[in-house]
């Protein structure tokens, strides 16, 4: 007999599912698969979101696509989206004890979810396991009474990012002295075999004016520079700015008020289950972006997981109507340029680049259908041969590949197709990966440097 679990108060806004009395308007959940589809007894909209999985097991199809990266590696159903949903529903039905979010069963089921978002786009019913996992993690920390050190360290990356440049020597020393790497693995749980990111000597935002003059009838856009492009790879932000200005746009840089800390989308907090902190960051960003969105200006992002959070996870933070306004305006650089090209508004002077470019898509780019735009924009460069790498998740997946206990799984995901393809590429082949984590994995796993789309376009500017 099931124990009666403690009733939970979801930390995310699941109201979009609360009104769902039927599955997609086509009948009740139970009509679509019996017990697999039944809505759990506890959790309200969260329970209904879990019940979107009706047991059809499309996540166990290993043909082309993204999902499910862990299942692709292990061939084990317990590492599939389906099993995670079944276990979560059991937890919400009181089958995993009085404190289900502290149960070993639920922790094990969620452990290898890399939040690729593949299930949301590739599952016929749109199971959003990445979001379900975040709520489970938030509930776990609440029941535990604290957030573990490593999770807090990864979550608070945007807060200490400005100081990382003073710690670059730690990463260098760690690479040359394996005992230090081992000690960090033991103390912090960061994989000894994994390199640490290196911060730039100067961030991007500090070099930019707070306001730009706008000529009459100028085309205006907003450039949203994420934490990673600001502190780790400011050359990407500079490249994007060059490209947009070369195309004739007046570019507003999204910035906080003078004296305030840099803007952040909240992705690292959200992914680690720190919902209040994610909501705080999102509110700060909306305060800056909303006036631009109301004016109808495109908000252009560079890091897929950051920009696409505005279109996706922000809706779960309960932040009101401004979210929809900003979400409608938010586009990745490649989406914006492709859209402008299709509308015959793009005047980008590009010279020929003879050679080949291999493109690896970030999971969120794939999940939100941005890869055709990548191909279209790279195709504007004369003489450039564009080829896409057919791959699932690179394996890095934010902090997942940094974690000692997940390092081997991370590398196995990369070895399915991405890393062998990169190693086999000629030395003069350009490698494009718009995701920070993807570039990190390629560097560690194949000893090759990859670039952002913006850098290739900058290289081709006349």
Question: Whole-angstrom Cα distance, residue 257 to residue 251?
Answer: 18
For 196-244, how does the pLDDT look when each residue is reduced to its tens digit (9 = 90+)? 999 999 999 999 988 888 888 889 999 999 999 999 999 999 999 999 9
User: What percent helix, strand, coil does the chain show, rounded to 5?
Assistant: 50, 10, 40
Question: Would you tell me how many other CB atoms lie within 10 Å of the CB of residue 242?
Answer: 16
For 129-164, how does the pLDDT look when each residue is reduced to its tens digit (9 = 90+)? 999 999 999 999 999 999 999 999 999 999 999 999
- Least confident window among 17-26, 227-236, 251-260, 425-434: 17-26
Question: Whole-angstrom Cα distance, residue 282 to residue 274?
Answer: 12
For 93-120, how does the pLDDT look when each residue is reduced to its tens digit (9 = 90+)? 999 998 999 999 999 999 999 999 999 9
Q: Which two tokens stand for residue 329?
A: 């305006």
- With residue 406 as reference, give the H or E element that holds it: none
Q: Which residues are 253's β-sheet partners?
A: 223
* Ranges of CATH 3.40.50 domains, the chain: 349-460
**Which distant-in-sequence residues (6+ apart) come within 8 Å of 224 by Cβ?**
254, 263, 289, 299, 300, 301, 302, 306, 307, 330
Q: What is the pLDDT of residue 1?
A: 46
Q: What is the pLDDT of residue 210?
A: 84
- Is pLDDT larger for residue 392 or for residue 26? 392
Highest CATH level, class, for 15-144: mainly alpha
* Ranges of CATH 1.10.1060 domains, the chain: 15-144
Helices (H), 28-165: 45-50, 69-74, 81-92, 104-110, 118-122, 129-144, 149-155, 157-160
DSSP codes joined into one string, 319-374? --THHHHHHHHEEEHHHHHHHHHHTT-----B----EEEEEE--HHHHHTT-HHHH
What's the predicted TM-score (pTM) here? 0.93
Name the architecture of domain 349-460.
3-Layer(aba) Sandwich (3.40)
Q: What is the pLDDT of residue 34?
A: 41
- With residue 299 as reference, give the H or E element that holds it: strand 299-301
Q: Which of 123-127, 205-209, 263-267 has the highest mean pLDDT?
A: 263-267
Please compute Rg for the chain using Cα positions: 22
Q: What is the pLDDT of residue 31?
A: 41
- Mean pLDDT score of the chain, rounded to an integer? 92
Q: What is the pLDDT of residue 398?
A: 94
pLDDT band at 5 (very low <50, low <70, confident <90, very high): low
């Amino acid at each position: 007999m099931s124990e009666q679990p403690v009733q939970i108060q979801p930390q995310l806004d699941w109201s979009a599912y609360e009104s769902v009395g039927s599955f997609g308007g086509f009948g009740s959940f139970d009509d679509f698969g019996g017990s697999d589809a039944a809505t759990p007894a506890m959790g309200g909209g969260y329970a209904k979101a879990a019940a979107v999985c009706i047991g059809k097991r499309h996540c166990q199809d290993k043909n082309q696509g993204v999902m499910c990266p862990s299942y692709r590696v292990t061939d084990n159903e317990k590492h599939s989206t389906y099993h995670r949903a079944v276990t979560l529903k059991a937890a919400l039905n009181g089958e995993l004890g009085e404190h289900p979010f502290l149960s070993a069963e639920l922790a094990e089921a969620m452990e290898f979810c890399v939040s690729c978002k593949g299930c949301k786009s590739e599952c016929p019913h749109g199971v959003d396991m990445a979001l379900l996992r975040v709520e489970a993690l938030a509930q776990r920390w609440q029941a535990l009474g604290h957030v573990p050190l490593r999770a807090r360290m990864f979550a608070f990356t945007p807060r200490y990012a400005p100081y990382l440049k003073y710690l670059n020597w730690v990463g260098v020393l760690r690479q040359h002295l394996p005992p230090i790497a081992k000690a960090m693995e033991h103390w912090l749980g960061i994989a000894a075999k994994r390199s640490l990111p290196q911060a730039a000597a100067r961030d991007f935002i500090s070099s930019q004016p707070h306001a730009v003059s706008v000529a009459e009838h100028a085309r205006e856009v907003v450039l949203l520079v994420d934490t990673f492009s600001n502190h780790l790879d400011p050359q990407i932000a500079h490249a994007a700015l060059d490209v947009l200005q070369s195309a004739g746009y007046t570019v507003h840089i999204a910035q906080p008020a003078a004296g305030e800390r840099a803007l952040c989308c909240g992705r690292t907090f959200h992914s680690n289950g720190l919902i209040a902190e994610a909501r705080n960051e999102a509110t700060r960003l909306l305060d800056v972006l909303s006036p631009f969105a109301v004016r109808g200006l495109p908000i252009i992002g560079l890091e897929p997981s950051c920009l696409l959070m505005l279109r996706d996870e922000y809706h779960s933070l309960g932040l009101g109507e401004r979210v929809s306004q900003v979400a409608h305006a938010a586009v990745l650089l490649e989406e914006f340029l492709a859209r402008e090209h299709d509308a015959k508004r793009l005047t980008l002077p590009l010279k020929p680049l003879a050679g080949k470019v291999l493109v690896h898509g970030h999971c969120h780019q794939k999940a939100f259908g941005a890869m055709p735009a990548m191909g279209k924009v790279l195709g504007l460069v004369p003489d450039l041969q564009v080829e896409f790498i057919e791959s699932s998740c690179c394996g890095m997946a934010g902090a997942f590949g940094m974690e000692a206990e997940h390092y081997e799984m991370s590398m196995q995901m990369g070895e399915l197709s991405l890393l062998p393809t990169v190693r086999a590429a000629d030395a003069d082949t350009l490698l494009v990966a718009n995701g920070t984590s993807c570039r990190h994995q390629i560097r560690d796993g194949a000893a090759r440097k990859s670039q952002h789309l913006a850098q290739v376009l900058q290289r081709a500017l006349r």
